[in-house]
């Protein structure tokens, strides 16, 4: 199937450079990008909007490995 789109010339140039560096055609690069976006849109990891509402240490994001490995946790 053929699809025509309009994009800024600089975006096209950069996409062509990336495609060439990866040994792909521009069409294949665009197809890979679109498929990646569609996979992420359906992946529960990326669509999960649940958040923890309880108490947590202020440095949890920095020291999560330490907290996960602590004895008795």
* Domain residue spans of the chain: 7-48
Secondary structure of residue 47 in the 3-state scheme:
helix
pLDDT tens by residue, 19-66: 999 999 999 999 999 988 887 677 777 677 777 788 888 898 899 898
The reported pLDDT for the residue numbered 30 is 96
Give CA–CA dist 5/68, Å, rounded. Answer: 48
- Entry pTM: 0.55
Give CA–CA dist 14/25, Å, rounded. Answer: 13
Contacts of 16 (CB under 8 A, 6+ apart): 26
Using CB atoms within 10 A of its CB, is residue 30 exposed (0-12), middle (13-18) or buried (19+)? middle
Q: Given pLDDT bands bounded at 50, 70 and 90, which one contains residue 8?
A: very high
The reported pLDDT for the residue numbered 68 is 86
Residue 73, pLDDT > 70, answer no
């Amino acid at each position: 199937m053929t699809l025509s789109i309009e994009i800024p010339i600089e975006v096209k140039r950069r996409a062509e450079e990336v495609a060439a560096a990866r040994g792909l055609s521009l069409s294949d690069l665009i197809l890979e990008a679109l498929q990646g976006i569609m996979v992420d849109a359906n992946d529960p990891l990326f669509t999960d909007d649940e958040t923890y509402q309880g108490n947590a240490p202020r440095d949890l994001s920095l020291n999560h490995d330490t907290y996960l490995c602590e004895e008795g946790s």
